[in-house]
């Protein structure tokens, strides 16, 4: 039944370009399970299509993991889940070579990272060493174990979660590390109706197990490739640079957005445009992804605070004029 | 029924008053130009002229000042005025029980009155546009009446004014304030300049398309309608009824013999009288005498002469012998005894529009069968020429239907043999003795030297027709055409002086020579005075006949065929052949007006024009590129401004950091959202199609309309 419904829902986008159809199908499918979380769902799809990774920051119990798992399942791709703890070793992520005494050979046992979608819960509970291994793999899309370099699957998408309000026994990511994530989002509490529906278990809300794949790993790879090719007008690129420049000169900001930050804004804007069914990037796409793509890369005068940073980027977006048509 | 009433009420609802002064001025100028164009074609009396010239500007000013008042009293007065104008129109029609052609002028007058009355009450843009559309009808009317290039002057004013009015009306409709405003409140609005380029491009394209159509169209000189125009602005009976008057030629200035200053620089021709003195010198000037609408060029025949006295041609038939044709227009011209069967050829319609006072002769191609003229009497001479009982002056128009003789060289050559084969009693029918006697008569003192010359020239000619050709060939070889021909000494036979001594002359001498040399052979012949076809104006398609086109030529009688004209002076200079395109005629007209410079000069001019054109083109191209990159707002920007103006009017201006689609969404007007998305795609995407552009423009216009109503 859910398959039928999905088909119907994607119908209007069947005519759209392929990446748009993939993006819409994923977004639609996530929405069946993760109720009342439109923005995180949207940003999850945007992060995936932009070829980056997603960090979800929020308190436990609001569906962070459900979102990550639903995404993996919707893609019909291999998935792995790692719970961040103090004693999580880097090799558990990357894999190890094990000596087989009978054959006398070393065999590689791949770690958790060898999956299309990797969910890392409680990232800030990992030791900095493990964090570093993960972040390096995210950047390189490959791991080196015992002198051998092994490519990670394609697509490779990491959804990390952490609770920013926990401080005891955590190792918060420094700015340079947060920079590795394309987008950072919060989950937020669901609205009252959604929560009530969850409590009552009615309304035919499908569980994670009811979710079927709406695309394939190859389909997502192709969509990512197509997204990166999207047309960006010079005026829109100028607009992005204006926003970046505004973060650099803002009095509340110690360190403004980097050039890499600008590149990720454009990539995320492309993915957002694809999700909206456009074949070009509009200033609205830039506005939609500006806060999730920039807020976590800023060093504020008052110290790290995701909400403050997001609000600051929001104000900048409201002030910088959009390019004239 | 109720729905119809509601519809009428809706259509007549009070609309927003139009505050743009510039739009009112542009419409006023266009209406003025078109109304005066109609007036200049002689439609309407002095009352109408005064009313339009004075009243129309007053009306526009008045309606601009009082545009906010409901003006019920004025409306009632105007309604009464329209009814009065209509009653006057109907009464004129009833009194003037004429053809459809007679309706044209009263209809134009009615339309002018209505246009004038309407101009007093044009509060809204719709009313102004109605006036503008009416001005187009007036221009079309003027074009129908027009016979000269004067209409072009009015068009040169009307066209830019209309374009400006259309642009301003459009700007006013979409709420753009690119013009001077009456109300101070409107002045504070967003005011980008008018979009000049699309307007200029549209103008250039329409002008080019119009020119292309004009050049490609076949030239229409013939009549299209069923009614043939005729008009007499005033009825001045000539003093000598049935006689001939030639007001264009000042008899007082004629001095015979010494050859000085005949016609004294006027346009009149001394040939249009009872006698033609071939010793006179001097020619009429280039004054435009009349315009002729005809499908082909032809000689416009006026008067013939049968009696030669050695110096002067005269008409022997007394004017009292003229046959009086009485009836209502059109007057049928009866066949005469001397009209051969060939006189019943194709119908050929010619309309003569007089610019100057001409003799009271009805000009026309041989042979006239029917005359449309608003008079009841014509006088027909036995030679077929016609005279009116009233004076023909400026503004007079008459139409002549001729039958063109269907003759060929073969039929002319066979005429002699056919005549010879007739029994003697039938010969009198084919060539009546009195006709023969009248048109072969030579004066008693006719020089024998000329008889000898005639015999010598026609010695080898087997037929009359060949004799004519032989004489024409001899004249071409042995005489020279010159307007400065010496006048014959007093008492000398003018023909002998020309043929045997001077051998320099012009059409009167050359035509006379052909007639006399033929008469010496016993062939009936006569001299004809009239006009050469004139030059066809490529713009109006009319033949313009000037005083200098006055001409004399010969007519020869062929038994069984009738009278056949011959012009020994020259090949007929046909200005334009029927059936050629307007483009070809235009080119010929231009080439004829170019100065006769040597080829090297023309090559230099061509190179200079090419260089200047190249420089202008490169400057234009560079400026265009600079402008397109800087100042000139793009299509997307202009359309976005429409949406912004829409939002500003509804009290929600666009914030600088607001995307257009988001703005349209937040305005809450559904019909703006799709256009906004399309405009963004044009600006930031890969561009849109022309159909999408048009759809967007239409959607925005529709949204503005909905907003108003």
Q: Does A231 reach chain B within 8 Å, measured CB to CB?
A: yes
Confidence label for B576 from pLDDT (cuts 50, 70 and 90): very low
Look at residue B665 in the predicted model and tell me its pLDDT: 87
Cβ contact, residue pair B679, A325, below 8 Å: yes
Cβ contact, residue pair B640, A319, below 8 Å: no
* Cβ-based contacts under 8 A for chains A and B: 59
B84: pLDDT strictly greater than 60: yes
Kindly report the nearest CA distance between residue A106 and chain B, in angstroms.
Answer: 54
**Domain containing residue A240:** 231-325
SS (H, E, C) A254-305: EECCCHHHHHHHHHHHHHHHHHCCCCECCHHHHHHHHHHHHHHHCEECCCCC
| Model ipTM value | 0.82
A36 phi-psi bin (left φ>0, alpha ψ -120 to 50, beta other): left
Residue A322 in domain: yes
**Chain B residues lying within 8 Å of A323, measured CB to CB:** 683-684
Q: Does A98 reach chain B within 8 Å, measured CB to CB?
A: no
Look at residue B628 in the predicted model and tell me its pLDDT: 64
Cβ contact, residue pair A322, B658, below 8 Å: yes
Residue A18 in domain: no
Look at chain A and report how many structural domains it folds into: 1
Look at residue B257 in the predicted model and tell me its pLDDT: 37
Look at residue A240 in the predicted model and tell me its pLDDT: 94
Look at residue B144 in the predicted model and tell me its pLDDT: 79
Cβ contact, residue pair B640, A324, below 8 Å: yes
Confidence label for B193 from pLDDT (cuts 50, 70 and 90): very low
B582: pLDDT strictly greater than 70: no
Cβ contact, residue pair A282, B659, below 8 Å: yes
Express each pLDDT in B602-631 by its tens digit: 788 889 999 999 999 998 888 877 766 666
Q: If residue B420 lies in a helix (H) or strand (E), which one and from where to where?
A: helix B409-421
Express each pLDDT in B394-414 by its tens digit: 888 899 988 877 777 888 888
**Chain A residues lying within 8 Å of B655, measured CB to CB:** 318
Cβ contact, residue pair B657, A320, below 8 Å: yes
Instruction: Give the sign of the dihedral formed by CA B86, CA B87, CA B90, CA B95.
Output: negative
Distances (CA, A) of B466 to A117, B461, B472: 112, 5, 10
SS (H, E, C) chain A: CHHHHHHHHHHHHHCCCHHHHHHHHHHHHHHHHCCCCHHHHHHHHHHHHCCCCEEEECCCCCCHHHHHHHHHHHHCCCEEEEECCCCCCHHHHHEEEEEECCCCEEEEEECCCCCCEEEEECHHHCCHHHHHHHHHHHHHCEEEECCEEEECCCCCEEEEEECCCCCCCCCCCCHHHHCCCCEEEECCCCCHHHHHHHHHCCCCCCCHHHCCCCCCHHHHHHHHHHHHCCECCHHHHHHHHHHHHHHHHCCCEEECCCHHHHHHHHHHHHHHHHHCCCCECCHHHHHHHHHHHHHHHCEECCCCCHHHHHHHHHHHHHHCCCCCC
Cβ contact, residue pair B685, A280, below 8 Å: yes
Q: Does A280 reach chain B within 8 Å, measured CB to CB?
A: yes
Give the span between the Cα atoms of A282 and B679, in whole angstroms: 11
**Chain B residues lying within 8 Å of A230, measured CB to CB:** none
**Chain A residues lying within 8 Å of B660, measured CB to CB:** 322, 325
Look at residue B178 in the predicted model and tell me its pLDDT: 40
Over residues B574-590, mean pLDDT: 55
**Chain A residues lying within 8 Å of B679, measured CB to CB:** 325
Orientation angle between helical segments B104-118 and B21-40, nearest 10 degrees: 160
Distances (CA, A) of A283 to A234, A237, B539, B660: 11, 9, 57, 9
% of chain B residues with pLDDT over 90? 12
Express each pLDDT in B166-190 by its tens digit: 888 877 776 544 433 333 333 333 3
**Chain A residues lying within 8 Å of B639, measured CB to CB:** 325
Pairing status of strand A54-57 against strand A79-83: unpaired
B510: pLDDT strictly greater than 80: yes
Cβ contact, residue pair B636, A325, below 8 Å: yes
Closest-CA residue in chain B for A236?
B684
Kindly report the nearest CA distance between residue B50 and chain A, in angstroms.
Answer: 53
Q: Select the residue of A279, A321, A325 nearest B683 (Cβ to Cβ).
A: A325
Cβ contact, residue pair A325, B681, below 8 Å: no
Q: Select the residue of A231, A236, A325 nearest B660 (Cβ to Cβ).
A: A325
B503: pLDDT strictly greater than 60: yes
Look at residue B27 in the predicted model and tell me its pLDDT: 93
B102: pLDDT strictly greater than 70: no
**Chain A residues lying within 8 Å of B673, measured CB to CB:** none
Kindly report the nearest CA distance between residue B630 and chain A, in angstroms.
Answer: 13
Residue A1 in domain: no
B545: pLDDT strictly greater than 80: yes
Express each pLDDT in B435-456 by its tens digit: 888 899 888 888 888 899 999 9
How does the average pLDDT of chain B come out, rounded? 80
For B284, phi and psi rounded to 5 degrees? Answer: -60, 155
Look at residue B527 in the predicted model and tell me its pLDDT: 92
What the block records as the tokens of A307 is 């909400």
Q: Does A233 reach chain B within 8 Å, measured CB to CB?
A: yes
Name the more confident of B31 and A17. Answer: B31
- Domain edges within chain B: 16-216, 251-592, 635-708
Residue A188 in domain: no
Give the span between the Cα atoms of B380 and B504, in whole angstroms: 35
Q: Which residues of chain A have pLDDT under 70?
A: 1-17, 201-206
Question: Residue A309's domain is classified under what CATH number?
Answer: 1.10.8.80
Closest-CA residue in chain B for A280?
B685
Name the more confident of B229 and A306. Answer: A306
Answer yes or no: pTM beyond 0.80. no
Look at residue B343 in the predicted model and tell me its pLDDT: 56
B224: pLDDT strictly greater than 70: no
Pairing status of strand A79-83 against strand A117-121: parallel
Q: Does A227 reach chain B within 8 Å, measured CB to CB?
A: no
């Amino acid at each position: 039944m859910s398959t039928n419904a999905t088909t119907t829902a994607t119908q209007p986008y069947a005519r759209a370009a392929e990446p748009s159809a993939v993006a819409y199908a994923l977004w639609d499918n996530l929405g069946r399970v993760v109720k009342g979380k439109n923005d995180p769902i949207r940003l999850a799809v945007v992060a995936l299509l932009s070829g980056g990774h997603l960090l979800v920051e929020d308190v436990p119990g609001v569906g962070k993991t459900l979102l990550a798992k639903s995404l993996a399942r919707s893609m019909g791709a291999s998935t792995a889940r790692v719970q961040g703890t103090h004693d999580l070793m880097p090799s558990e992520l990357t894999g190890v070579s094990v000596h087989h005494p009978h054959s006398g050979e070393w065999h590689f046992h791949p770690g958790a990272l060898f999956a299309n979608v990797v969910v890392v819960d409680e990232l800030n509970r990992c030791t900095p060493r493990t964090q570093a291994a993960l972040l390096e793999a995210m950047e390189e899309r490959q791991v080196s174990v015992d002198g051998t370099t092994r490519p990670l699957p394609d697509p490779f998408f990491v959804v990390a979660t952490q609770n920013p309000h926990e401080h005891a026994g955590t190792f918060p990511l420094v700015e340079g590390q947060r920079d590795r994530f394309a987008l950072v989002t919060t989950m937020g509490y669901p609205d009252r109706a959604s929560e009530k529906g969850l409590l009552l278990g009615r309304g035919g809300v499908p569980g994670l197990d009811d979710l079927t794949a709406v695309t394939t790993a190859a389909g997502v790879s192709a969509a990512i490739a197509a997204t990166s090719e999207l047309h960006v007008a010079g005026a829109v690129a100028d607009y992005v640079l204006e926003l970046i420049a505004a973060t650099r000169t803002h009095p509340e900001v110690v360190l403004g957005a980097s050039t890499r930050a600008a590149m990720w804004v454009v990539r995320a804007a492309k993915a957002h445009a694809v999700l909206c069914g456009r074949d070009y990037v509009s200033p609205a796409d830039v506005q939609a992804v500006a806060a999730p793509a920039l807020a976590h890369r800023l060093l504020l005068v008052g110290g790290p605070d995701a909400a403050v940073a997001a609000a600051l980027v929001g104000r900048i977006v409201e002030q910088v004029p959009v390019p004239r048509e | 029924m109720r729905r119809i009433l509601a519809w009428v009420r809706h259509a007549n609802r009070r609309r927003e008053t139009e505050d743009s002064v510039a739009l009112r001025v542009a419409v006023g100028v266009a209406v003025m130009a078109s109304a005066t164009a109609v007036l200049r074609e002689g439609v309407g009396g002095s009352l109408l002229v005064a009313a339009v010239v004075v009243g129309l500007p007053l009306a526009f000013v008045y309606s601009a000042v009082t545009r906010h008042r409901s003006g019920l009293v004025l409306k009632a007065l105007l309604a009464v005025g329209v009814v009065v104008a209509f009653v006057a129109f109907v009464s004129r029609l009833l009194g003037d029980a004429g053809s459809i052609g007679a309706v044209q002028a009263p209809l134009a007058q009615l339309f002018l009155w209505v246009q004038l009355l309407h101009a007093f009450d044009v509060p809204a843009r719709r009313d102004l546009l109605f006036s503008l559309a009416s001005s187009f009808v007036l221009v079309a009317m003027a074009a129908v009446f027009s016979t000269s290039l004067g209409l072009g002057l009015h068009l040169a004013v009307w066209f830019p004014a209309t374009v400006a009015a259309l642009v301003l009306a459009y700007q006013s409709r979409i709420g753009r304030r690119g013009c001077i405003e009456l109300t101070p409140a409107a002045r504070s609005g967003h005011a980008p300049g008018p979009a000049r380029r699309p307007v200029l491009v549209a103008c250039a394209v329409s002008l080019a398309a119009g020119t292309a159509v004009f050049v490609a169209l076949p030239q229409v000189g013939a009549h299209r309608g069923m009614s043939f125009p005729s008009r007499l602005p005033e009825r001045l009976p000539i003093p000598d009824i049935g006689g001939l008057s030639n007001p264009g030629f000042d008899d007082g200035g004629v001095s015979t013999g010494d050859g000085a200053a005949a016609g004294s620089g006027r346009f009149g021709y001394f040939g249009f009288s009872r006698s033609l003195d071939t010793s006179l010198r001097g020619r009429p000037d280039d004054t435009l005498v009349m315009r002729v609408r005809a499908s082909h060029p032809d000689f416009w025949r006026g008067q013939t002469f049968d009696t030669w006295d050695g110096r002067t041609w005269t008409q022997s038939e007394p004017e009292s012998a003229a046959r009086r044709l009485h009836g209502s227009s059109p007057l049928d011209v009866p066949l005469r005894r001397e009209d051969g069967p060939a006189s019943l050829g194709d119908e050929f319609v010619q309309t003569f529009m007089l610019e100057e006072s001409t003799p009271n002769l009805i000009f026309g191609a041989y042979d006239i069968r029917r005359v449309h003229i608003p008079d009841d009497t014509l006088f027909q001479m036995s030679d077929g020429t016609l005279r009116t009982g009233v004076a023909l002056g400026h503004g007079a128009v008459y139409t002549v239907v001729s039958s063109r003789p269907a003759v060929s060289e073969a039929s002319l050559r066979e005429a002699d043999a056919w005549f010879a084969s007739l029994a003697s009693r039938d010969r009198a029918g084919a060539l009546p003795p009195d006709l023969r006697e009248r048109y072969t008569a030579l004066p008693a003192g006719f020089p024998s030297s000329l008889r000898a010359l005639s015999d010598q020239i026609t010695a080898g000619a087997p037929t009359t027709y060949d004799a004519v050709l032989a004489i024409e060939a001899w004249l071409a070889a042995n005489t020279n055409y010159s307007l400065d021909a010496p006048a014959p000494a007093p008492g000398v036979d003018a023909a002998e002086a020309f043929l045997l001594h001077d051998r320099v002359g012009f059409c009167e001498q050359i035509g006379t020579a052909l007639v006399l040399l033929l008469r010496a052979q016993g062939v009936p012949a006569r001299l004809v005075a009239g006009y050469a076809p004139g030059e066809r104006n490529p713009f109006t398609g009319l033949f313009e006949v000037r005083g200098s086109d006055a001409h004399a030529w010969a007519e020869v009688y062929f038994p069984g065929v009738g009278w056949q004209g011959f012009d020994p002076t020259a090949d007929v200079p046909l200005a334009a052949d029927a059936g050629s395109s307007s483009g070809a005629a235009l080119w010929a007209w231009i080439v004829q007006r170019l100065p006769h410079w040597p080829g090297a000069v023309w090559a230099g001019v061509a190179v200079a024009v090419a260089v200047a054109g190249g420089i202008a083109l490169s400057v234009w191209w560079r400026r265009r590129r600079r402008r397109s990159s800087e100042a000139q707002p793009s299509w997307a920007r202009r359309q976005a401004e429409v949406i912004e103006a829409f939002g500003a009017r509804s009290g929600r201006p666009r914030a600088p950091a607001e995307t257009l689609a988001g703005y349209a969404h937040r305005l809450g007007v559904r019909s703006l959202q799709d256009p906004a998305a399309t405009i963004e795609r044009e600006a930031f995407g890969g561009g849109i199609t022309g159909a999408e552009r048009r759809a967007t423009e239409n959607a925005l216009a529709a949204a503005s309309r909905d907003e108003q109503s």
